[in-house]
């Protein structure tokens, strides 16, 4: 669930940001942007392809696959279709839920297992067509349950389903030992009438195993690719959900986040993605990292679809004490908060400390701040969170303690033969060739050394996190400037996937909201070098209605989302780039 939870990545990212803030920013010219040119040539061999047809993946092994540009249809009948579009098609008789499921399953075979081999889906639901048939019959007999009735979705492979699918967090250690019950979130989706098509690949154990991991890779699922440019990274840990939704392999999807793992894949894959307030969406039945920061979140191609999905996911759950605080703060319908004029009169604070890691990103964000001001927003610039950089180590300390304790509690409820973090560590050592061919498990080892949650070190770190990110952080700056939301770049264009050295994360803005447990929504801001770049709006606890209103207005203003083209690579050194690849906001696209 986290790209920022690794010590080396986290430290280098923060140092780079601090250096960038004090540097002189060049805003006049970007020669590298002008030199960018997209080329269609074969990418190098890439390891790891999940076998969607395997009924039992105990013996699965990473494979080296020669990538070839195969014949496949670039355009797909259901490209960029929305939930509202599909509900209209159900009424008209154009589609049935069964027909939709069949089309998406065929498209998964065409471009996820073959062609560009995005490799975002780790397992298909063998009961998907049966479920779709039943929902079609129910619609005819009783009418639809709601906006998600018959809608095909994909969910991350750390969310329990009490069916014939595995739930593994991408680890071979959990293959075959299926959960008996649905996670609360999965149950809510089913009750809303959604068709769970399958599970998506992820950064193994939600990117908490190693400090120099590669996002989008798991021992079970192999490597997920970014559908915009296949040698680029989809970010993590909700890599598969981000890539699958962006590639139009489903209508919408569910990811999870501890720090960055909904908003970063949403940014890198050109999606809208919301990390809710911790407690708005139950975590019971989700393989954990940190109960103080974990949450599931909706990911879709439009803010409206995110709002629809959130309405189905949110709810109080006796199995998750954090959701008790959500009573009276949950809305069954978040669509009602969407307003095309939502920017008009909104006071937005610019968190400049989250800028400075990429000059082209800064230029794009500054142009968009100008557009929002023209739309009636009041821009407070800067509106910096004074504690940024002061809670990095304490966040990691909390992770070490909570990971060990929370995994043990999850395994006990699940009834798995794997009962502890120590068991997972031992499995990885015994299966090093399949589980650790590229990176190890140093975070696991450090977590295993920690004591109980009653330890003073843990309690002090948790209290420090909350004080620095809440009362002295987000709440402080929002009170000071009377803000409706804070704004910053979510991240930069997707980096090249590097299994040898691990991720190269230059910067991001997820940290404060993640540690505080506060909401954060990403919306596509534009494209640089043909790669999407996201903008984040975040704020106080339970401010989802306000953030959705602002994000929707921004989305309608810019209309930046462009569907991916599955390019093998982008040659930024060859002259001849076009305006499209020098960078744009995507407005009107």
Residue 27 DSSP SS3: coil
For residue 467, count other CB atoms closer than 10 A to its CB.
14
- The question of whether 237 is a catalytic residue gets the answer yes
DSSP letter assigned to residue 174: G
- Compute CA 374 distance to the chain's CA centroid, rounded to the nearest angstrom: 30
- Annotated active-site residue in 156, 275, 450, 563: 156
- The question of whether 92 is a catalytic residue gets the answer no
DSSP 472-536: IIIHHHHHHHT-SEEEEE---SPPBP-TTT-------S-HHHHHHT--EEEEEEEEETTEEEEEE
| 306 φ, ψ (degrees, to nearest 5) | -60, -45
With contact defined as beta carbons under 8 Å apart, do 367 and 585 qualify?
A: yes
HSE-CB at 241 with a 13 A cutoff on CA atoms is 40
Task: Please enumerate in sequence order all residues whose Cβ is within 8 A of that of 183, keeping only pairs 6 or more positions apart, or say none.
Answer: 159, 160, 161, 282, 284, 285, 286
Residue 178 DSSP SS3: coil
DSSP letter assigned to residue 109: I
- Which residues are paired to 256 by β-bridges? 296
- Annotated active-site residue in 237, 267, 282, 509: 237
Cα 536 to Cα 367: distance, rounded to the nearest angstrom: 15
Nearest to residue 306, comparing CAs of 296, 318, 316, 315?
Answer: 296
- Annotated active-site residue in 261, 447, 510, 543: 261
3-state secondary structure 551-583: HHHHHHHHCCCCCCCCECEEECCCCCCCHHHHC
**What is the enclosing helix (H) or strand (E) of 299?**
strand 295-300
Q: What burial class does residue 26 get, using C-beta atoms within 10 Å of its C-beta: 0-12 exposed, 13-18 middle, 19+ buried?
A: exposed
Please give the positions annotated as active site.
Answer: 156, 237, 261
């Amino acid at each position: 669930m986290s790209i920022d939870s690794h010590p080396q990545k986290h430290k280098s990212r923060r140092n780079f940001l601090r250096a960038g803030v004090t540097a002189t920013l060049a805003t006049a010219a970007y020669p590298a942007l002008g030199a960018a040119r997209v080329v269609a040539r074969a990418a190098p061999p890439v390891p790891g392809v999940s076998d969607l047809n395997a009924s039992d993946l105990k013996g699965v092994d990473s494979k080296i696959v020669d990538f070839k540009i195969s014949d496949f249809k670039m355009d797909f009948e259901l490209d960029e279709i929305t939930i509202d579009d599909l509900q209209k098609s159900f009424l008209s008789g154009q589609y049935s839920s069964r027909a939709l499921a069949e089309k998406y399953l065929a498209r998964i075979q065409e471009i996820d297992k073959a062609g560009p081999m995005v490799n975002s889906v780790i397992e298909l639901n063998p009961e998907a067509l049966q479920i779709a048939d039943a929902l079609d019959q129910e619609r005819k007999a009783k009418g639809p349950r709601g906006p998600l009735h018959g809608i095909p979705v994909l969910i991350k492979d750390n969310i329990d389903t009490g069916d014939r699918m595995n739930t593994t967090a991408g680890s071979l250690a959990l293959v075959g030992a299926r959960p008996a019950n649905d996670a609360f979130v999965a149950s809510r989706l089913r009750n809303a009438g959604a068709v769970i098509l399958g599970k998506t690949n992820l950064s193994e154990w939600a990117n908490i195993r190693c400090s120099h991991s590669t996002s989008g890779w798991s021992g079970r699922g192999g490597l997920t690719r970014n559908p915009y440019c296949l040698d680029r990274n989809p970010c993590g840990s909700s890599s598969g959900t981000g890539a699958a939704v962006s590639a139009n392999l489903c209508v919408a999807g569910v990811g999870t986040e501890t720090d960055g793992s909904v908003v970063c894949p949403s940014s890198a894959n050109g999606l809208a993605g919301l990390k809710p307030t911790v407690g708005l969406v139950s975590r019971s039945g989700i393989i954990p990292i940190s109960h103080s920061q974990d949450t599931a979140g909706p990911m879709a191609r439009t803010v409206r679809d995110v709002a629809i999905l959130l309405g189905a996911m949110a709810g109080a759950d006796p199995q998750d004490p954090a959701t008790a605080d959500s009573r009276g703060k949950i809305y069954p319908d978040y669509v009602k908060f969407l307003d095309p004029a939502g920017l008009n009169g909104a006071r937005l604070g610019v968190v400049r400390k989250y800028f400075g890691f990429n000059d082209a990103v800064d230029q794009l964000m500054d142009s968009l701040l100008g557009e929002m001001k023209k739309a009636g927003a009041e821009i407070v610039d800067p509106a910096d969170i004074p504690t940024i950089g002061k809670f990095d180590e304490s966040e990691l300390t909390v992770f070490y303690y909570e990971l060990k304790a929370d995994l043990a509690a999850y395994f006990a409820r699940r009834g798995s033969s794997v009962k502890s973090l120590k068991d997972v560590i031992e499995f990885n050592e015994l299966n090093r060739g399949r589980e650790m061919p590229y990176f190890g498990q140093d975070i696991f080892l450090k977590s295993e050394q920690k004591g109980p949650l009653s330890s003073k070190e843990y309690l002090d770190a948790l209290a420090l996190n909350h004080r620095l990110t809440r009362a002295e952080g987000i709440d402080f700056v929002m009170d000071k400037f009377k803000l409706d939301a804070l704004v910053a770049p979510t991240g930069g264009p997707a980096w090249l996937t590097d299994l040898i050295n691990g991720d190269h994360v230059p910067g991001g803005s997820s940290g404060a909201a993640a540690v505080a447990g506060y909401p954060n929504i990403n919306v596509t801001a534009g494209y640089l070098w043909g790669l999407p770049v996201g903008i984040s709006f975040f704020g106080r606890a339970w401010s989802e209605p306000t953030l959705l209103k602002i994000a929707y207005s921004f989305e309608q203003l810019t209309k930046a989302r462009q569907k991916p083209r599955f390019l093998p690579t982008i040659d930024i050194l060859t002259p001849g780039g076009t305006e499209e690849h020098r960078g744009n906001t995507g407005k009107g696209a």
